[in-house]
A = this chain, B = another copy of it.
Amino acid sequence: MTDRSRRRFLRGTATTAGLLGLAGGAHAGQGRALGLPVSGYGQRARHETAARWLTPTRYLASTASWTPLADQVGSLTPAGLHYERHHAGVPDIAPDAHRLLIHGLVRRPLEFTLAELRRFPQAERLCFLECSGNSYREWQGPGGVDVQQTHGLTSCSVWSGVRLADVLAECEPQPEARWLVAEGADAARLTRSLPLAKALDDVLLAYGQNGEALRPEQGYPLRLLVPGYEGSISVKWLSRVKLSAEPVYSREETSKYTDLMPDGRARAFTLMMDAKSVITAPSPGPTPLAPGFQEIRGLAWSGRGRVTRVEVSVDGGEHWQDATLHGPVLPVCHTRFTLPWRFTGAPALLASRCTDETGYVQPTREALIAARGANSFYHYNAIQRWRVDADGSVHNA
B38 engages A65 (CB within 8 Å): yes
A336 engages B124 (CB within 8 Å): yes
Chain B residues, Cβ within 8 Å of A17:
101-103, 109-111
Identify A33's interface contact among B31, B187, B191, B294, CB under 8 A: B187
Does A143 have its Cβ within 8 Å of any Cβ on chain B? no
User: In the complex, what distance in Å separates the CA atom of A41 from the CA atom of B111?
Assistant: 34
How would you classify the secondary structure of chain A's contact residues: helix, strand, loop or mixed?
A: loop
Chain B residues, Cβ within 8 Å of A116:
10, 13-14
Chain B residues, Cβ within 8 Å of A140:
none
Identify A295's interface contact among B40, B50, B119, CB under 8 A: B119
Does A379 have its Cβ within 8 Å of any Cβ on chain B? no
Interface residues in A, total, Cβ within 8 A: 123
Does A154 have its Cβ within 8 Å of any Cβ on chain B? no
Chain B residues, Cβ within 8 Å of A54:
37-40
B88 engages A44 (CB within 8 Å): no
Chain B residues, Cβ within 8 Å of A177:
none
Does A259 have its Cβ within 8 Å of any Cβ on chain B? no
Give 1 or 0 for each of A9-47: 1 = CB within 8 Å of chain B CB: 110011111101010010111111111111111111111
Give 1 or 0 for each of A41-72: 1 = CB within 8 Å of chain B CB: 11111111011101100001101110000011
- Taking A37-B90, A73-B213 as given, write out 20 further A-B residue pairs in contact, using a Cβ cutoff of 8 Å, ordered by the A residue number: A3-B169, A9-B119, A10-B110, A22-B103, A25-B191, A27-B99, A27-B239, A30-B185, A35-B186, A36-B92, A39-B65, A40-B65, A42-B84, A72-B212, A73-B161, A78-B212, A121-B338, A121-B340, A122-B338, A210-B210
- A residues with CB within 8 A of B: 3, 7, 9-10, 13-18, 20, 22, 25, 27-48, 50-52, 54-55, 60-61, 63-65, 71-82, 84, 86, 88-95, 97-99, 101-103, 108-112, 116, 119-124, 126, 158, 160-161, 169-170, 183, 185-187, 189, 191, 207-208, 210-217, 220-221, 237, 239-240, 292-295, 297, 326, 328, 330, 336, 338, 340
